[in-house]
Structure 1
Amino acid sequence: MVQILLLLLPALSPALAWMPVEDWESGSVTASMDESGQCVCHVYLPDTTFPADRVEHMQQVSKDLILEVEIQMNKMVSYEAKLDVYLEELKKLTFRVAMLESSPDSYIKLDFELLRIELREFEVLVSQLKDSLNSSSPMFDSLYTEIRNMTLIVNQLETYDKSNLEVIRIEFAKLQKKLEECQKEQEFIKPDIGNCNHTGIMSISKPIVVQLNAHLNAGFQYGGWGKDSKPVRGYESMYFYGAYSSPSVHNFYLYSNYENLIQRSAFKQHDIPGGWRGTGNNYIVHGNTIYYQINTPFSMTKLNLTSSKYDYRVIPAASQKFSYSYSDNQNLDFAADETGLWVIYASEESKGKIVLAKIDEKSFGIEDEWNTGAYKQLAGNAFMACGVMYLTRSVDVNTEEIYYAFNTKTREEKHLSIHFQKFQDKYSNLDYNPTDQKLYMYNNGYYVSYNVRFNKE
């Protein structure tokens, strides 16, 4: 019986074939003879011998394989999508190469189409920037206008064919000649720094809008910026800036040059202590000193930027009742030109008309005065150039006018009408700088400047 059982083992299930002997012994084996005379063995094994741990291991292996298959399938889908993109790009590249090989004209058409695409992308960019800044600045309107104009130009140029190329060349030559003439004219009107051999201001250029103030805060509507009108050696390129949410003066920032002004990288900051804080915004930097107005006592004040020393002088006749039309507390207006340092104010005695006074820089006193016929409250602001005081006023939201001039040499008054554009309606500071013959305006939070052209006939 034992021999028969051993012979039959290989034919049994593989699970039984490799079972250890002790597992066999814990079961039971019976044998019998069937009707045909063959021996039949019956093996009964206990349940504990079933390899459950191996089955569980195989199930985990199966799950891991299924997960790996899914990962690989996802990769295939991703690769298929990328392949579609690359095939599309390849088609576009093939199309461009074919157009380039066919004729230069075809390439020019493609070039125009790319220009239009770039213009549309630029328009979207400007729109996004406008939305992100939540601004309705004229600067964005100007950009939109430029984009539309450029799109029209691109469309018009594309309509030209070879027959018009010669006409284009001729027109281009004419344009080049005009540009050369313009350059010569520009050289002719090049600023003659320090020379007052002229009859006064002829015109003011279009505004050069630099950027929003260094605080990047449109709420800082009051303030001023510019250059030292009488720089000391080593500080010829220095710029100053100070701005506030009300007509006050409590700190200043100094920048070594124009680039640092744009980058908001000041080399020095002056925080004015409580007893010396000022009002109004018609301050100026002259001879490395800031001149501004304080109200207690009401007087003109100066701060030396090197020594940080303060001083003040009272002007007995000056009144606090007469300010410019654009903002309050503009009672003392400091100005500088080729002839020196000035202060502009009005008095009770003059009944609100402007009094122009020359400041002695050494004694910090008044060395001379002129009474004018112009009412201070009607003016938007004032500045000095070559010993002549010029007053401005608003024509409309976008236009300012120099309407009055007073010559301190001849005591002659003159009514003018010299218009120039404003970036925004109101401004709090306007000063002429004799070192570059420019006007510096702090216009509702923005740095703005103008070139001044004098009549040299």
Structure 2
Amino acid sequence: MALQAAATAVTAVLLTMLIQVSETTETCFCELRNLGNTFPDEKLQNVKSGATSCTQKITSEQISEIDVLLDQLHYRLLQLEGDIRVLEIEDDGDLFGAISLRIIEIELAEIMDLFVKLNTTNTVQQRLSANTAAQLVNLKSEMELLEKFDRTKVVLEKEKNKRLKRDLKDCEAKSEVTIAPPTITVPGNCPYGHLLNVTGPTSYITTQYGTSYPYGAWGRDPKPALGKEDWYFLVALTSSSVYANYVREYSSYSALILGVSAGDVTIASSNPTTNTVQGPNAVLYGDALYYNCYNSPSVCRFNMSARTVSTVALPAAAYNNKFSFCHLEACYIYTDIDMATDESGVWAVYSTPQNFGNVVLSKVEVDGGLTLGRTWNTSLHKRTATNTFMACGVLYGTRYVDKQNEEVFYSFDTVTGQERFDLGLRIKKTSTNVQSLNYNPRDRMLYMYSDSYVLAYQVTFD
């Protein structure tokens, strides 16, 4: 009891002391003075609005508009040149001449209209470029001033993190395969259906070689290397319309039109020699060129980066102009072995005596070492076709109709084995002959090399 009484007394004393302390406590105020400059929030908002304005003003449509106009102008000039040549040859000084002159007058008016549009577009783009450059300089200056307020280096560290993330992403991208077409594990199992139509040409130009080399191949890589997603390749047979020893590359379609090459990649020291490209039916896939090896019934693969060549033989294949593509009036020399690409990879189209000159189709396995996969025999005689291409594991054959038309008349499905000879899909031509034709699954375009001209067609599936 005594202890309890003592504890009670101590508690009472402590409560009395706390009450006295609380009655004497006063509230303290501290004056905070900002010795530095006030953060210019208004300037930050101006920078944000300026950046948004730049983004809205410059669109991909504006950038590509001048490319389209140049392409149209080039096509019109070639058309005008052809009409004038016809007039010079066939002018009878009477009705025919009057009609032809009227057509030429209309074409000249259209060309002048394109010149006006091109000049206007060019002026607008130059003004836009100048204004944008000035805005970027101002934005950079403003951002440099704003960064001075980052005393704790938060923004600096964020920028370092962004750079590290970007570098990591680039590193991961390099270690993997770059943008690839839809993967078809079973050839012929096409998610788009079968070929329905071929429209175009959407482009029609000569290369920087002009009309010097009527045989060749061009197009885009369906499985491009990193940084080459928009590049184009060109292989012109510069030696007797039979051989080539280098690949010419272009960084964009505009560069191809203007003849501004990104450089030549040399395959062989000269023509003809070991590893020389023989025939016009070459394709690019996975940053490697596939073609008929010089003086051999074999497929060559030239690695564009490593500059190395590997080969695989096509058993009993005809070569050296034995079974070329033909029509009634002529054959396309050294087109015995036709290389093709589609969603599932690379193919070789050729013929053998054992199959009586009919087309033989082989899958070229490109992962790791170069080997042949499965092979199919067809009943399409090679000399009755002018060219072939693959799309979704289906082999398509074309034939000559007349100087203005080619026809996709044949198909062979590698899954079902079904053959058809009645497709009847017309392809409009601007020149008589078709030296090479190949389908790109990445943009679903057909790339044609025709008498020195390079053309592209849009492919439609059902």
Tell me the TM-score range normalised by the shorter chain.
Answer: 0.5 to 0.7
Evaluate the alpha carbon distance shift between residue 150 and residue 260 of structure 1 in structure 2; reply closer, same or farther with a 3 A threshold: closer
Q: What residue identity is the alignment partner of 2:220?
A: K
Which residue in 1 is equivalent to 2:349? 344
Cα drift, residue 270 of structure 1: 2.1
C-alpha distance in structure 2 between counterparts of 1:322 and 1:136, whole Å: 36
Question: What residue is the counterpart of 1:406 in the other structure?
Answer: 412
Is the CA contact (8 Å cut-off) linking 1:223 and 1:242 kept in structure 2?
yes
Given the superposition, is the C-alpha separation of residues 145 and 129 from structure 1 closer, same or farther in structure 2, using an over 3 Å criterion?
Answer: closer
Is 1:430 the equivalent of 2:437? yes
The two structures have a TM-score, normalised by structure 2, of 0.57
Equivalent residue, structure 2, for 1:284: 283
Give me the whole-angstrom Cα distance separating, in 1, the residues matched to 2:359 and 2:77: 45
Q: Give structure 2 stretches of 5+ with no counterpart.
A: 1-72, 88-98, 111-180, 184-189
Counterparts of 2:336 and 2:304, CA distance in 1:
23
Counterpart of 1:314 in structure 2 is 313
- The whole-number CA distance in structure 2 between the counterparts of 1:451 and 1:224 is 17
What's the counterpart of residue 182 of structure 2? 194
Counting only pairs closer than 5 Å after superposition, residues 214-293 of structure 1 correspond to structure 2 as: 214-216=208-210, 218-243=211-236, 244=238, 245-271=240-266, 272-273=268-269, 274-293=273-292
Aligned-partner Cα distance in 1 for 2:299–2:257: 30
1:396 is aligned to 2:402 = yes
| 1:327 correspondence with 2:332 | yes
Change (3 A) 1:398 1:344: same
Matches within 5 A, 1:41-440: 130=81, 145=103, 147-148=105-106, 194=182, 196-216=190-210, 218-243=211-236, 244=238, 245-271=240-266, 272-273=268-269, 274-320=273-319, 321-325=322-326, 326-361=331-366, 362-415=368-421, 416-440=423-447
1:212–1:149 Cα change, 3 Å: closer
Alignment: residue pair count: 287
SS in 2 for 1:316: coil
What is the CA distance between 1:134 and its match in structure 2?
8.9
- 3-state SS of paired residue (2:316): coil
Larger fraction in strand: 1
Give the conservation status (yes or no) of the 8 Å contact 2:312–2:372: no
Q: Distance in 2 between matches of 1:407 and 1:235?
A: 32
Displacement of 1:233 in angstroms is 2.1
2:289 touches 2:302 (CA, 8 Å); kept in 1? Answer: yes
1:239-284 CA-to-partner distances (Å, cap 9, x unmatched) read 0012135122222101122122122222220232232212111000
CA separation of 1:150 and 1:290: change in aligned 2, threshold 3 A: closer
1:441 maps to 448
CA contact (8 A) 1:398 1:421 kept: yes
Please give the secondary structure, in 2, of the residue aligned with 1:259.
helix
| CA RMSD across the alignment | 3.1
How far the C-alpha of 1:357 sits from its partner, in A, is 0.4
**TM-score normalised by length of structure 1:** 0.58
The structure that has the greater radius of gyration is 1
Q: 1:128 to 1:346 in 2, by over 3 A?
A: closer
Letter in 2 for 1:224: A
Amino acid at match of 1:333: D
Identity over aligned residues, as a percent?
Answer: 31
What is the rounded CA distance, in whole Å, between the counterparts of 1:200 and 1:287 in structure 2? 25
Instruction: For residue 151 of structure 1, report the CA deviation from its aligned partner.
Output: 7.8
- 1:53-88 Cα distance to aligned partner (Å, 9 max, x none): xxxxxxxxxxxxxxxxxxxxxxxxxxxxxxxxxxxx
* Alpha-carbon distance in structure 1 between the residues aligned to 2:460 and 2:100: 25
| Aligned-partner residue type, residue 370 of structure 2 | F
Residue 358 of structure 1 and its aligned partner are, at CA, apart by: 0.3
